[in-house]
Structure 1
Amino acid sequence: MAQILVTGGAGFLGSHLCERLLERGDHVICVDNYFSGRKENIDHLRDHKRFELIRHDIVHPLYVEAEQIYNLACPASPVAYQYNPIKTIKTSTVGMINVLGLARRCRARILHTSTSEVYGDPEVHPQKEDYWGHVNPLGPRSCYDEGKRVAESLCMNYHLAHGIPIRIVRIFNTYGPRMDPNDGRVVSNFIMQALRGESLTVYGHGKQTRSFCYVDDLVEGLIRMMDQNVDLGPINIGNPVENTMLELAEAVLELTGSKSAVKHDPLPKDDPQQRRPDITKAKAILKWEPKVPLKEGLAKTIEYYRRTQFG
C-alpha cells in the first residue's frame, strides 16, 4: 500500500485514477479546488477508509505526506481553460512549482500529465515525443498549450537540479463516463446534442482528425508509467486510431439512434488539423496500448449521459 496524492482528483481523469488506486489497495489523498472538477465524480469514494479529500488550489503551497504524486490539476477543455486563461497559466507554472516543491520535501516520485497540445497544430504526423511542436504562443489556446510546455520544462529542471524522480506523459484525446457534459469537448458535445435532438456542431469541413482513447485504457497507461523505472518521459498516451470529426458524428448518431442533422460552423482559431500519437515508446517501455474500440467506449459514455442527464 502506497500513500498517493492525486491533484485534480475530482476531475474526469482524476476520479477514475483515484478509483483504480483504491481498488489496488493504495491510500489516496485527492486534492481539487473544483474549478473544473466536480464533487459528483468522487461522491462514491468519500466514505472509503483509504480515501482523503482536501479542497485546495495548488497555486498555493500544499503540505501533506506522499510517496507518489500524480499531478492532474489543470482545466483541460477549451471552454474551461479559456474561461480564465491567467488562472490556467498559473496552475501550470506556480502550481507546478508548488507540487514539485512538495515532491522534493517528501522525496516522492511525481508523474505530470502533460498534453498532446504541446504539439500545437503539428507539421509532423503522427506526433512522436521528439517533435518540438508548432504552437502559437499568443493565440487563444496558448494559456493551456504554453503552460503545459513550461510545466514539462519545470519537471525536467527540478529533476536535473534536485534529483526529483519525475515521469511525464502527454495525454491525447480521452473520453468516457464522468466527462462534464458542458465541457465543450467534441465527444461530450456530439453525445449531448444527439440525445437532445439538436444538430451536431462540426467545425470547418469536418475532415480534421483526432484520436480517441477510452478513460480506462488511459488510466492503465498512467499507472504503468508511474511504476516503471526505465524512462522519465515524455511518453505519449493515446489511441493511434485516427478518426475525422464527421466519422465521430456518424458513430454517435448510430449509437444514440438520433435523427439529428449535422451543421458546420467556422473553425476555431489555432484548432489542429491532425492529431494522432505515435505510441511506439509506450508499447516498448510500458507494454501498453489501448484495448477499448471507439464504438464500445462511446456506448458506455452514452449510457452514462442517459443515466445522469436524462434519468
Structure 2
Amino acid sequence: MFDLRAEAQVVAQSSMIAWEKLSGATVLITGVTGLIGSACARVLLERNRADGRDIRVLGLARSAERACEALADYSEEDGLTIIEGDLLGTAIGDSHPDFIIHSACPTASRFFAEHPVETADAIVLGTRRMLELAKTSSAKGFVYVSSMEVYGDGNNAAGLDRLLTEGDVGYVNPTVVRSCYPEGKRMAEQYCAAYASEYGVPATIVRLAQTFGPGIPKNDSRLFALCARRAMAGEDIVLKTTGASTRMYLYTADAVTALLAVLLEGEPGRAYNAANPSTYSSVKGMADMVAALFPEKNVQVRCEIDPSAPYPPEHHLPLDVSALEDLGWQPTKDLPQMYANLIQYLED
C-alpha cells in the first residue's frame, strides 16, 4: 500500500523550499482535488504538523465532498479550510490569501476535444480571476501551473538537437479544436506576465512536463495510466499514434517542490520549465519500458493509429530546466521509480 501522507512528510522536510516565508501565511490552492493541488495541500499541512508553521491552507474545489475525501487525513485543526465552488463563480470571501497556487484546469484530451469552450474559459478566465484576487489581496506570491504543451509543434516537430528554453515557444494552430488547451495556457501565461508588469502582482509560471505518480484517479484515462493498468493486467498496450513524440516526465512530489520553489523565489512574470531530464523518452519507448516491468506477462506494445484520436500532433520536448535549478531545485525520481510507485499505488 502506497502511503501518500508519508510521502508528503518527506517532501515537507525538503531543503529546497524557503519554508520560513510561509510561516503564518494563508495559501489558496485551486483545484485541490486534482493531483497537483491535493499534493501541494498535503505537503503544506504536513509542514504544519512537523514544526508548527501555522500555514492556513484554503482549498478551492468544485466538490467539497471530493476534496474532503482527497484530504481525509487533515482537518481544520491542521490548518485546512475547503471552499466549494468553481473558478468563475465562487466568492472567496475575506480570505485575502498571502500566496496562491493556481492548479485548477481540465486535464483530459477527450474533454478538450468535446468541451473546447469550457476548457478555454476555465483556463483563461479562471486565471484572470485568480490574478485579480492576488492583486486585491496584495499577495506575496502567485504561481500558475502551466504545461509543456505551450511549446506547440512547429519548430520542434522534426526533432531538436538542443534543449528547449522558456523562450523557444513554437507553433500552435488556433483553428484546431484541441488547441483550446495549449492556446488557453498561453493566454493564461500572458495574463500572468501582464499582471506582473502592469500591477506588480508577483505572478510566476511553471511549465510542467507530463506529471504523474500516486494520487491519480484509479480510472485515469491518460496514456501513462492506461499503460500501467494494462501491463498490470497482462494486456497489450495499444497506442493510437506512432508513439514517436518525445518528452520528459516529472514525478508528482518533484512538481510540488518545483511549484513551491518558484512561488517563493521565482522572478515575477517569468516562466520556468519543470521536468526530470533523465526521463526523456519517446511515447513508445515509455510504453516499452512499462511492458518490460512485467516480463512474466509477455505484454506487447502495438501501434494502431487513429487519426481522430484527441492527442496533440507529433512533438519533441527536451526541456531545459536550468532556470529552475538556479533556484536550488532538483528532481528526485526517474521514470522507473515513478512507475514503481504508481504501480504500488494502483495495486492497493
CA 1:254–1:273 in structure 2 vs 1: closer, same or farther (change >3 Å)? same
Match of 2:79 in 1: 50
1:197 to 210, 234, 249: 234
Distance 1:207 1:74 in 2: 27
Equivalent AA in structure 2 for residue 156 of structure 1: A
Question: CA distance change for structure 1 residues 261 and 93 in 2, over 3 Å: closer, same or farther?
Answer: same
Moved more, 89-98 or 5-14: 89-98
Say whether 1:12 aligns with 2:35.
yes
Alignment match, 2:173: 136
Displacement of 1:130 in angstroms is: 0.7
Once structures 1 and 2 are overlaid, which stretch shifts more, 181-190 or 234-243? Answer: 181-190
The separation in 1 between residues aligned to 2:69 and 2:119, in whole angstroms, is: 22
8 Å contact kept, 1:60–1:95: no
Q: Indicate the SS of the match to 1:290.
A: coil
Distance in 1, Cα, partners of 2:176 & 2:315: 16
Equivalent residue runs for 1:75-114 within 5 Å: 75-108=106-139, 109-114=141-146
Deviation at 1:8, TM superposition (A): 0.6
Which deviates further from its counterpart, 126-135 or 168-177? 126-135
Tell me the alpha carbon deviations over residues 68-110 of structure 1, each in whole angstroms, 9 at most, x when there is no partner. Answer: 0000011123134334221111111221121111111111121
Residue in 1 that maps onto 2:289 = 251
- Between the aligned partners of 1:160 and 1:273, the Cα distance in structure 2 is 31
Amino acid at match of 1:277: L
Residue 190 of structure 1 contacts residue 249 of structure 1 at CA under 8 Å; is this kept in 2? yes
Q: Give runs of ≥4 in structure 1 deviating > 6 Å.
A: none
Deviation at 1:51, TM superposition (A): 0.6
Instruction: Confirm whether residue 185 of structure 1 aligns to residue 216 of structure 2.
Output: no
Q: 2:346: which partner in 1?
A: 305
1:264 pairs with 2:303: yes
Residue 154 (structure 1) shift: 1.0
Residues 289 and 229 (structure 1), Cα distance of their counterparts in 2 relative to 1, 3 Å cut: closer
For each residue in 1:21-60, what CA deviation from the matched residue of structure 2 results, as whole angstroms up to 9, or x when unmatched? 112222111101159x866432333465311111110022
TM-score computed with the length of structure 2 as normaliser: 0.81
Query: Where does structure 2 lack aligned partners over 5 or more consecutive residues?
Result: 1-22, 49-54
Q: Distance in 2 between matches of 1:272 and 1:253?
A: 22
Shift of 1:188: 0.4
Superposed CA offset, 1:127-151 (max 9, x none): 2101132111121321111111110
| Aligned pairs for 1:115-130 within 5 A | 115-124=147-156, 125=160, 126-130=163-167
**Counterparts of 1:229 and 1:169, CA distance in 2:** 10
- Pick one of 40, 47, 62 that aligns with 1:33: 62
The AA in structure 2 aligned to 1:55 is E
Counterpart of 2:7 in structure 1 is none
Q: Which runs of 5+ in 1 are unaligned?
A: none
Q: How many residues align?
A: 305
Give the percent of matched residue pairs that are identical in Structure 1 and Structure 2: 28
1:113-166 superposed Cα distances (whole Å, 9 cap, x missing partner): 111111112524432101132111121321111111110111111222211111
Q: Offset at 1:226?
A: 0.7
Q: Cα RMSD (Å) of the superposition? A: 2.1
- After superposition, the C-alpha distances for 1:180-215 in whole angstroms (9 at most, x for unaligned) are 244332210101122233321223332321211111
Question: TM-score by structure 1 length?
Answer: 0.90
Distance 1:220 1:122, change over 3 A: farther
1:167 paired residue among 196, 204, 207: 204
Q: Conserved in 2, the CA contact under 8 Å of 1:120 and 1:272? A: no
